[in-house]
Amino acid sequence: MKGPILVVLAAGMGSRYGGLKQMDRVGKSGEVLLDYSVFDAKRAGFAKAVFIIRHDIEKDFQELVLDRIGSAFPCDTVFQELDSIVPPAVFEESRKLGRSKPWGTTHALLCAEGKIDAPFAVINADDFYGRESFEALGSFLKGDVSEGAIVPYSLHKTLSPQGTVSRGVCEIENGLLVSVDELTAIAREADGKIYNTGPDGAKRCLPEDTPVSMNCWGFPTGIFPALRRYFDEFLAEKAKDIKGESYLPLAADWFVRSGLLDIRALEADPEWFGVTYKEDREVAVNRIDRLAGQGVYPPALWNA
């Protein structure tokens, strides 16, 4: 039986990071963070990886990532651009209004539909998810999959000391996802507590162990018609918002609220780290070095 597919969201612009964080090297043999995700997915039984990128980074991505990984694990690429799978009239109007970036992570996943013919996981390129996450997803996605899945993370493990972060705050009951609320300005403040600051300046205190989405999902192949419907509704409402993005966690929330898909919360208790800001890179380098020293990863992933 064919193993599941790993879909990697790697088309982000890295505005807060100040560069292409999905291709910033953190391993001693030139590995980037997504190398470790693909390596963990491979040993968890995944069959291939599909990378969603932009045309303007294709050459660098090929040289820095695919030339290394592609010799050890099957890989495909697809492209997410402003005009990808959107009506020409929507593209033209948004371009005239000054929009330059694509339409978010829901849009990205729809761009990859043609490469996905098995149950699949979706992750960000610039996050480290931990071996346990891929073991849980790999086990869940094998066989006849009719539900979705999320690997939730405890909020306090996902903060950056450099500034605010965006997180999908989850409500989970009896092992199933009930809702996701996308909060975009979460930080630990001077009193030691974690708050989200809303657009109106209102503060919402969040418990340390609040489960959050880090875009670590599992889905059956049949999810795409519903995902397309969700994205079409987003375009109908937000096409003139030049900064509007269709977030995958909010699509998952819509699936659940509409009764279209049950999404199971998988128990993994994984380690997470990422590179939201440039200053986060040193932390990532040190943690990768520590994991390699503990034998979790070989010093050179793809030469092992």
pLDDT tens track for 232-242? 999 999 989 98
pLDDT tens track for 253-303? 999 999 999 999 998 888 888 887 778 888 889 999 999 999 999 988 887
Three-class SS state of 120: strand
CATH class of the domain defined by 5-151+211-303: alpha beta
**How many C-beta atoms lie closer than 10 Å to residue 3's C-beta?**
17
Task: Please tell me the distance from the alpha carbon of residue 184 to that of residue 191, in angstroms, as a whole number.
Answer: 20
Residue ranges of the chain with per-residue pLDDT less than 50? 13-19
What is this structure's pTM? 0.92
**Radius of gyration in angstroms for the set of CA atoms belonging to the chain, rounded to a whole number:** 18
- What six digits make up the tokens of 259? 């009764």
The domain locations on the chain are 5-151+211-303
Q: How far apart are the first and last CA of the chain?
A: 26
